[in-house]
């Protein structure tokens, strides 16, 4: 049976990433001036209202108020907050300078199905510059039948990022009918491919889901993925390697229990990821629980600092 690479990888340095002065300055703010400030990232995303609708806010009704999320970002000492232009314009002002902004520049609703998923632009890199953001986020649906439009649109965003020295964070999500047929969106095949695509098209950071071992799904994947078995940390190490000199953030996904959440964070950091971008697992809790979970995340991060070099 084919085996997968499992050796822990030192994260790429700014020098290795060959970052421009602007990108380096902004990533420095996110990684060494806010949040854990030790070279890791602890991002708080609040774009679920567009992606899933207000359903995600029922578990903790306070979370529907974006100002509550901002308070959590500040009190929980996150590295940055990730959201769309409408929220940035109307809620960032009070916290400007206190929590870095990652402007999500594309998105969509989940009302129609995801067979040919594609997220149009909701704002631009110029908007991000104007708002003092330190990064932009772009969702690329890897493997979607709409990939031609998606890669082309991402290329335009990348170009603007190069122009303005703005770090590009790619939400690299496998999607579409062909992905389903080849093992599904959580398969190692699909996420490993997504990691590599993000790297090749020029992402500075890639947001990935954790690959999930599932024999039935894997069997539908191309060789050698069809017979590859792996633990959680092995799966993540593999995708970290495929991402190359692109830093990896792990998504939180649906809400889990406290221990599972902390475990996922620890695994991610051990696998060589640069950090976490957990949303529902942070703010689908009441205030005290949320702050407590943020503290737990900081503890995990403390063990994984790395100099900028």
Q: What residues numbered 45-64 form the site for a copy of itself, per CB under 8 A?
A: 47, 49-50, 53-55, 57-58, 61, 64
Establish if 111 lies at the interface with a copy of itself (CB under 8 A). yes
Establish if 36 lies at the interface with a copy of itself (CB under 8 A). no
> Measured from the CB of residue 244, what is the shortest distance to a copy of itself in angstroms?
6
Residue 126, H or E segment? helix 125-130
Active-site position among 32, 173, 189, 225:
173
* One of 25, 33, 75, 86 touching a copy of itself (CB under 8 A): 86
| Residue entry with tokens 């990730």 | 82
In the residue annotation, 173 being an active-site residue is answered as yes
In the residue annotation, 182 being an active-site residue is answered as no
Residue count, binding to a copy of itself (CB under 8 A):
84
Q: Could you say which DSSP state residue 96 is in?
A: T
Identity of the residue, 94 or 295, whose beta carbon is nearer to a copy of itself in the bound complex: 94
The footprint of a copy of itself on residues 189-218 (CB under 8 A) is 189-190, 192-193, 195-203
* One of 40, 63, 79, 144 touching a copy of itself (CB under 8 A): 144
Establish if 97 lies at the interface with a copy of itself (CB under 8 A). no
> Measured from the CB of residue 258, what is the shortest distance to a copy of itself in angstroms?
23
Establish if 178 lies at the interface with a copy of itself (CB under 8 A). yes
Active-site position among 180, 207, 255, 264:
207
Bridging pattern class, strands 135-142 and 205-208: unpaired
Task: Give the chain's radius of gyration (CA, Å).
Answer: 18
Q: Determine the length of the chain.
A: 309
Yes or no: say if 174 and 232 are a contact pair by the CB < 8 Å rule.
Answer: no
| Residue entry with tokens 């108020």 | 65
Report how far apart the first and last C-alpha atoms of the chain are (Å, whole number). Answer: 38
| Span from 25-33, 178-186, 260-268, 282-290 in contact with a copy of itself (CB under 8 A) | 178-186
- Backbone torsions φ then ψ of 276, nearest 5 degrees: -125, 150
Establish if 34 lies at the interface with a copy of itself (CB under 8 A). no
Q: Could you say which DSSP state residue 172 is in?
A: E
The Cβ of residue 78 has, within 10 Å, a number of other Cβ atoms equal to 30
The footprint of a copy of itself on residues 266-305 (CB under 8 A) is none
Establish if 139 lies at the interface with a copy of itself (CB under 8 A). no
- Return d(Cα 185, Cα 307) in angstroms, integer: 34
Establish if 83 lies at the interface with a copy of itself (CB under 8 A). yes
Half-sphere exposure of 82 (CA within 13 A, CB side): 31
The alpha carbon torsion through 203, 272, 262, 303 (nearest 10 deg) reads -120
Catalytic residues: 173, 207
């Amino acid at each position: 049976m084919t085996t997968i690479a499992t050796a822990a990888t030192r994260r790429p340095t700014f020098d290795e990433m060959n970052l421009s002065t602007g990108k380096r300055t902004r990533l420095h703010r996110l990684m060494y001036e806010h949040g854990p400030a030790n070279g890791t990232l602890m991002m708080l995303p609040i774009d679920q209202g567009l992606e899933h609708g207000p359903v995600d806010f029922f578990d903790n009704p306070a979370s529907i108020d974006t100002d509550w999320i901002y308070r959590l970002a500040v009190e929980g000492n996150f590295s940055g907050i990730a959201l769309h232009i409408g929220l940035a314009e109307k809620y960032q002002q009070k916290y400007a300078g206190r929590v870095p902004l990652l402007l999500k520049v594309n998105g969509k609703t989940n009302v129609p199905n995801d067979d040919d998923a594609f997220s149009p632009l909701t704002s631009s890199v110029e908007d991000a510059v104007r708002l003092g953001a330190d990064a932009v986020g772009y969702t690329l649906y890897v493997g979607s039948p709409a990939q031609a439009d998606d890669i082309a649109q991402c290329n335009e965003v990348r170009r603007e990022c190069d122009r303005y020295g703005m770090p590009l964070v790619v939400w690299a999500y496998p999607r579409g009918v062909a992905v389903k047929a080849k093992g599904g969106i959580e398969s190692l095949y699909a996420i490993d491919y997504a990691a590599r695509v993000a790297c090749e098209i020029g992402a500075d950071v890639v947001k990935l889901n954790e690959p999930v071992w599932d024999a039935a799904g894997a069997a539908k994947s191309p060789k050698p993925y069809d017979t590859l078995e792996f633990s959680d940390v092995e799966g993540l190490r593999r995708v970290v390697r495929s991402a190359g000199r692109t830093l990896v953030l792990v998504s939180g996904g649906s809400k889990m229990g406290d221990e599972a959440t902390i475990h996922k964070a620890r695994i991610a950091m051990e696998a060589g990821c640069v950090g976490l971008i957990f949303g529902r697992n942070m703010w689908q809790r009441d205030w005290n629980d949320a702050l407590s979970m943020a503290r737990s995340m900081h503890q995990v991060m403390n063990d994984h600092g790395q100099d900028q070099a």
